[in-house]
Amino acid sequence: MSTYTVADYLLDRLAESGVRHLFGVPGDFTLAFLDHVERHPLIEWVGCANELGAGYAADGYARLHGLGALSTTFGVGELSAISAVAGSFAEHVPVLHVVGAPTTAVQAAGRASHHSLGDGDFGHFARMTAEVTAAHEVLSATEATTQIDRVLAEVRHRRLPGYLLIPADVSEAPASPPAAALPAPDVVTDPAVLTRFRDALGARLEVADSVSVLADILVARLSAEPSLHRVLAQGVPHASLLWGRRVVDESAPAYLGSYLGAASAPAVRDGIETADLLVMAGVQFTDLTSGFFSQRIDPARTVEIRGEHTRVGDDDFRPLAMRDALDAVADALAAQGDRFRAPAVDVVPAAPEPLDPAATLSQTALWREIAGFLRDGDTVLADQGTSFYGMAGERLPHGVVFGGQPLWAAIGFTLPAILGAALARPERRPVLLIGDGAAQLTVGELGTLVRQGIPAVIVVVDNAGYTVERVIHGLHERYNDIATWDWTALLAAMDPTGTSVGVRVDTVGALTEALATARSATGLTLVQAVVPSDDVPPVLADLASAAAAANRRA
């Protein structure tokens, strides 16, 4: 009978936490560990084109599954992935980074091992990673199981990345299987604090003539969506930041739209900024989701619900879990009957003007056609820039999970992330919207998508360069240009089986036809959508103007 090892213990703890896929790139310090992965009954190895892509894939997996994991080798591998881990930290995504290292004997001797800096100090990279993780450990043979449990508990509770450095000999050290399950991550609410909050909220509602709700991504990160939906079921006017579109139903009658500060549609801005009482659920304003901090929200008229506490004006209530605070808001609104319910709208919005099939494809036509293509239950990832802001003015169907990375804002993130998201929720159709410049950064994972048999629909916006940068500064400068690629030929090169379909479109009619074909495709579909390089979505133009002004300020 084989010996149960530290590697087995770690994998069992990951499996217990729901992880079914481990992303990464093999290296000689991880090969023995990966043997355990191959033998594990619940966890599948997903080899990626590079470590950065593996980190992005693990992030995409965690956003839909609750926890993601990646494995890289020491030094060169982990530093390749550190930008992805930093993005997970910035955006509150729980990912565990497992790094295989030289043996404890090699490290103790201070040998100039490959992948090190040659100075005998093997702690450089762990110290770097400590800045972008909630917990990190260098495992020892005697304490490994305790260290693993501590890091995993922190990752799950704080919804932030963790780091485990495993020397090759420690990975093979004997261990005992887990004796009990890890405690469930949760915030414990003080009942007395909850009572005080209910009283304060009730007093505010009694004197308010209008109530609106603004929701954002932390609701999803803290698994509080069911409680938010109870609030929104009361029919109050509500909006989300672009970061948090997934937490609301954009087909609901009381949905106002996306709030972006001064870049918002007038009705959205009025509904949020002039409400007598604004309930903010999990809101984190960033420059790229607030029109460069152009929001005009009076804290005195705000109930701000965070992960572990809530503020009502100047009063702070803690410890108070987000779910409990939202449930209290739902109960209080229900007790008010229809008093704060948005009025019914009898006027049916006019149908948009029909598009000319022969017309050259524009940004406006592109995003309208894509919005019409989406269906209930899709997972839609939009890369930072043209794609993310191009979709800002379009309503999403019920049940669509929409995501991007507007805080860390690493272009190219979504191509590997759609791999992770698709494996996390295979029942959802994966749709990727990405610019040509962004896709060139991480295109290697297109081959991984094909190899994994992911039936993604990928729209590459081919506008010959970095559009965001063009409209911020240097509209016609060469530094915003990129190499011209034939994306359909590239897909063919990455899929020798011919099961994937690539098509280039430059007219409205060709796009409509390509999307219609993609609806029934069983393999990956890539649409190379060619649009003029100087055509910019209106929301992006507004934000770029604000960005340019911000960059000029002292």
Tokens in use for 312? 């009502």
Q: What is the pLDDT of residues 101-142, one digit of tens each?
A: 999 999 999 999 999 999 999 999 999 999 999 999 999 999
CA distance 402 to 285: 18
Given this model, what pLDDT does residue 345 score? 62
Q: What is the pLDDT of residues 249-282, one digit of tens each?
A: 999 999 999 999 999 999 999 999 999 999 999 9
When pLDDT is cut at 50, 70 and 90, the band that residue 349 belongs to is low
φ, ψ of residue 212 to 5 degrees: the values are -130, 160
Given this model, what pLDDT does residue 475 score? 82
Element (H, E) at 94: none
Torsion of CA 82, 87, 91, 96, to 10 degrees: -30
pTM of the model: 0.96
Given this model, what pLDDT does residue 469 score? 86
Closest-CA residue to 447 (of 499, 503, 493) = 493
Given this model, what pLDDT does residue 1 score? 42
What CATH topology corresponds to 363-552? Rossmann fold (3.40.50)
Region 539-551 average pLDDT: 80
Tokens in use for 375? 């269906």
Region 506-528 average pLDDT: 97
For the ranges 190-199, 286-295, 521-530, the lowest mean pLDDT is seen at 286-295
Q: What is the pLDDT of residues 372-394, one digit of tens each?
A: 999 999 999 999 999 999 999 89
6-171 and 363-552 agree in CATH topology: yes
CATH number of 6-171: 3.40.50.970
The residue type of 319 is P
CA distance 516 to 420: 25
Tokens in use for 461? 């916006």
Distances in Å between the Cα of 115 and the Cα atoms of 28, 85, 100, 123, 226 are: 10, 19, 11, 12, 46
Q: Is 117 helix (H, G, I), strand (E, B) or coil?
A: coil
Taking the alpha carbons of 200, 203, 208, 213 in that order, is the dihedral positive or negative?
A: positive
Distances in Å between the Cα of 293 and the Cα atoms of 203, 310, 446, 552 are: 30, 22, 36, 16
CA distance 131 to 518: 43
Given this model, what pLDDT does residue 348 score? 53
Region 277-290 average pLDDT: 96
Q: What is the pLDDT of residues 412-442, one digit of tens each?
A: 999 999 999 999 999 999 999 999 999 999 9
Residue ranges of domains in the chain: 6-171, 191-335, 363-552
Contact between residue 517 and residue 526 where contact means Cβ atoms under 8 Å apart = no
List the alpha helices (DSSP H) in 281-413. 322-335, 363-373, 386-390
Q: Is 103 helix (H, G, I), strand (E, B) or coil?
A: coil
Secondary structure of 387-417 in HEC code, one letter for each residue: HHHHHHHCCCCCCCEEECCCCCCCCCCHHHH
Question: DSSP letters of 12-26?
Answer: HHHHHTT--EEEE--
Contact between residue 244 and residue 219 where contact means Cβ atoms under 8 Å apart = yes
Tokens in use for 361? 């494809």
CA distance 403 to 246: 7
Provide the residue count of the chain. Answer: 554
Residues 6+ apart with CB under 8 A from 427: 377
Between residues 43 and 478, which one has the greater pLDDT? 43
When pLDDT is cut at 50, 70 and 90, the band that residue 35 belongs to is very high
382: β partners = 433
Could you give the strand order of the β-sheet that contains 525-530, starting from the edge strand earlier in sequence?
401-403, 379-382, 430-435, 457-462, 525-530, 501-505
Q: Between helices 76-90 and 51-65, what is the axis angle to 10°? A: 30
Element (H, E) at 293: none
302-305 and 310-312 strand pairing: antiparallel
Q: What percent of the chain has pLDDT over 90?
A: 90
Residues 6+ apart with CB under 8 A from 6: 139, 141, 144, 145, 148, 166, 170, 171, 172, 173, 174, 175
HSE value, Cβ hemisphere, 13 Å, CA-based, for 383: 29
Given this model, what pLDDT does residue 350 score? 64
Closest-CA residue to 151 (of 185, 189, 177) = 185
Cα end-to-end distance, the chain, whole Å:
68
Between residues 345 and 459, which one has the greater pLDDT? 459
The residue type of 491 is L
CA of residue 1 relative to chain centroid, distance: 42
Given this model, what pLDDT does residue 320 score? 97
Taking the alpha carbons of 241, 243, 245, 246 in that order, is the dihedral positive or negative?
A: negative
Q: What is the pLDDT of residues 174-227, one digit of tens each?
A: 999 999 999 988 778 999 999 999 999 999 999 999 999 999 999 999 999 999
HSE value, Cβ hemisphere, 13 Å, CA-based, for 331: 13
Tokens in use for 154? 């922190």
Tokens in use for 89? 């930290």
Between residues 475 and 515, which one has the greater pLDDT? 515
Q: What is the pLDDT of residues 323-337, one digit of tens each?
A: 999 999 999 999 999
Contact between residue 362 and residue 535 where contact means Cβ atoms under 8 Å apart = yes
Distances in Å between the Cα of 27 and the Cα atoms of 68, 301, 518 are: 20, 55, 37
Residues 6+ apart with CB under 8 A from 274: 210
Q: Which long-range contacts (CB under 8 A, 24 or more apart) does 182-185 make?
A: 182/13, 182/16, 182/17, 182/149, 182/152, 182/153, 182/156, 183/153, 185/153, 185/156, 185/157
When pLDDT is cut at 50, 70 and 90, the band that residue 352 belongs to is confident
Phi/psi-derived region of residue 81, left when phi > 0, alpha when psi is between -120 and 50, beta in every other case: alpha
CA of residue 337 relative to chain centroid, distance: 36
Q: What percent of the chain has pLDDT over 70?
A: 98
Q: Does domain 191-335 have CATH number 3.40.50.1220?
A: yes
Torsion of CA 46, 47, 52, 53, to 10 degrees: -60
Q: What is the pLDDT of residues 446-476, one digit of tens each?
A: 999 999 999 999 999 999 888 888 888 888 8
Mean confidence (pLDDT) of the chain: 95
The residue type of 222 is L
